[in-house]
Chains A and B, each alone.
Chain A
Amino acid sequence: MAGTMIIDGQRVGFDKEKNILDVIRKAGIDLPTFCYHSELSIYGACRMCMVEDERGRTMAACSTPPRDGMIVKTNTPKLQKYRRMVLELILSNHDRDCTVCEKNGRCKLQELAARFSIKNIRFGPLCKQLPVDESSASIVRNPNKCIMCGDCVRMCEEVQGIGVLGFAYRGSKIKVTTAFERPIAEVECVNCGQCAAVCPTGALVVKNETSKVWDVLNDKNKRVVAQIAPAVRVALGEEFGLKPGEIVTGKIVAALRKLGFDEIYDTGMAADLTVMEESREFMGKLEKEENLPLFTSCCPAWVKHVEDKYPQLLKNLSTCKSPQQIFGALIKEHYKKIDEAQGKETVVVSVMPCTAKKYEAARPEYRNNGIPDVDVVITTQELALMIKQAGIVFNELEPESLDMPFGLASGAGLIFGVTGGVAEAVIRRCLKEKNPGALKEISFSGVRGMEGIKEAAINIDGREIKVAVVHGLGNASKLISSILAGEKRYDFVEVMACPGGCIGGAGQPIPQSSLVKMQRAKGLYDVDRSSQIKRSEENPIIMALYSGLLSEKRYLLHRYLHHQK
């Protein structure tokens, strides 16, 4: 419904906006909210978004649809008083140790308390201190900082389709917790971190592991090797005020060298190996018509979800390790003898857009005699923090290039960071036609874009291959239901747990709008377009590895096979 409203005396047209909050924001007014996220359902609990109509009635803007001719004010004395009271009440029960809080400086509650000049809190706390849950490899949950906005609950339930968190008890005893208040590492949490990405306070944060990185950087006996995931290079700049999607690979390399990393490589190189192995696996399964569709396995949150919820599909899951784990296994193998000779120890640090990668690196199958293939995983945000801690002025860095040999990735390996990228890379490998027209055709086949469930049909060797691409585990569950019910049939299914794919990972700077993810996606496609090597099999490093280090050690690239060596 279209119409016009009057907001603070200003005429504002509306069209598709479902609530007056969106109309007010469109008018350039930054109405405060805690519990509103455009991609989640309306909850209407925090009452920060109250507005007043011409008769002095107040209403929550997030839960009021716009009407033609509506008149509202957003900043009356009554509303100001109201908002301060809400903040004061929230803060009265809040663990207010801001200076040592992980969310310090990025906290919505802190920001609004400052904005509304809360100086004095007249009420005492009602609740006693509850234990902090540090069981997860990826996220830390501090219930003492929870303001009950329910954002995490709705994110996990509505977008991820899991429902790890929920409200329990009632009245003053109400809390957000897991089923039976179990530690979060012991429930069906997949470590995607999306709950932490929407939490306005320090109640849910990504585990900070920067101190581990500083420790190894300051240890002369360690060879510290960094790998940078594709999605990091199109988002890190946002932490320094650059445009979303701006490609800052060169600056990241320069920053990592300044921080003291010995070698800096590209996870995209390892993604090329994933493409090679997954394509071979796929063609094999296609020929035998067994265990189709083949599901991708590079997203650790998705892998855990299959283990928890769809064990019957484990046989359909690709056995390929994720690029992160391939990289770790490869580097450790590469330096094994050299380390022994030099009396050094190689440490692999991943820079990832993802919180689940922390969990993946800690999984027992990725250890060799107790030594993990990947030692520490930090997120894009954590790297930005380290750069700031070191006083490096990021924007003034001269771009530098990645190290060789493991710093060379094909365009196919780099689009791994966006939904549809893995499918596209694998199709490029499987398709016999290698001309530019074929590349274009794949990119227009339906694998690209931000719709939750995408489908494509590609002709390979005269056979029509049905491909599905999903992002967000809620969408994955929908797709799987239709596959299990026999309504849909596919040959290849790509799943990424985070909306948008890795570019939307919870370790990335928190996007201010849905546009941000599209800009980051464009950044990665730009990287691909301008790279000389488009296909994984054309990457000379990959060729060299297969005839060298990997010639007898292909097991390094697979999850289960390495037990059989």
Chain B
Amino acid sequence: MNTTIIYGKVDQILNRYGNKKSALIAVLQEVQKEYHYLPQEVLSYIGDKMGISRARIFGVATFYENFSLEPKGKYVIKICDGTACHVKKSIPILNALRKELGLNENKRTTDDMMFTVETVSCLGACGLAPVITINDKVYPKMTPEAAIRLVKEIREANRLED
């Protein structure tokens, strides 16, 4: 969408796997790391290069929760909703964040492309429940208030940067 695509990077990834069809998922993971989502143009490009139909790549990309076909915000906030976090009240954190950022179940990314809020099923840190991660940094024993504070801090830091 707004991402400019540099196919040289995609080529590098493809070369690393020698265009092998069996490496499709690994390739998609690397592409997602690069762009934070899987742009349609890149998926089509990969399909043509690897000799896999676009419909099939789309199938793989939609099968796994972890792949996103939508662009994500600069900060991806994941709220763990595994059993432990759930009983330790992860949902109020989720609701508070959505309310603060004007998001809901279907709209997961803010219009300014700053924040994406999503849930995951267990981050494997149950001892620290409830847990959230922001761009893979772990924040243990969260509360709704603490989460909102984190968001505000990020906003402030970004404002100063500009």
Contact = CB atoms under 8 A, between A and B. Distances in A.
Our verdict on whether A and B bind, yes or no, reads yes
B44 interface: yes
Contacts of B53: 157, 162-164, 166, 179
Given A179-B44, A180-B40, A168 B62 contact: yes
B54 A179 contact: yes
B68 to A, nearest CB: 13
Interface in A479-498: none
Contacts of B47: 179
B58 A179 contact: yes
22 contacts: A163-B52, A163-B54, A163-B55, A164-B55, A166-B53, A166-B55, A166-B56, A166-B59, A167-B59, A168-B58, A168-B59, A168-B62, A168-B63, A177-B58, A178-B58, A179-B43, A179-B44, A179-B57, A180-B54, A180-B58, A181-B58, A188-B54
A163 B59 CA distance: 11
A236 interface: no
Contacts of B40: 180
Interface of A: 153, 157, 162-170, 177-181, 187-188
Contacts of A162: 53
Contacts of A163: 52-56
Q: Mostly helix, strand, loop or mixed at chain B's interface?
A: helix
Q: Which of B43, B47, B55, B58 has the most CB of A within 10 A?
A: B55
Which 5 interchain pairs have the tightest Cβ spacing?
A: A163-B53, A166-B55, A179-B54, A179-B58, A166-B59
A262 to B, nearest CB: 45
Interface string B13-52: 0000000000000000000000000001001100100001
Contacts, number: 48
A168 B62 CA distance: 6
Residue of B47, B53, B63 most packed against chain A (CB within 10 A):
B53
Given A164-B53, A179-B53, A170 B58 contact: no
B53 to A, nearest CB: 2
A166 B62 CA distance: 11
A178 to B, nearest CB: 6
A180 B52 CA distance: 15
Interface in B63-108: 63, 69
Contacts of A179: 43-44, 47, 53-55, 57-58
Contacts of A165: 55
Nearest to B69: A180
B59 A187 contact: no
Nearest to B61: A168
A169 B64 CA distance: 8
B58 to A, nearest CB: 4
B62 A187 contact: no
Please indicate which of the listed interface residues B40, B43, B44, B62 has the most CB atoms of chain A within 10 Å of its own CB.
B62
A181 B53 CA distance: 14
A41 to B, nearest CB: 14
A477 to B, nearest CB: 10
A177 B69 CA distance: 16
Contacts of A188: 54
A328 B53 CA distance: 36
A386 B62 CA distance: 43
A187 B54 contact: yes
Nearest to B56: A166
Nearest to B57: A179
A166 B55 CA distance: 5
B67 to A, nearest CB: 12
B160 to A, nearest CB: 39
Given A179-B44, A180-B40, A169 B63 contact: yes
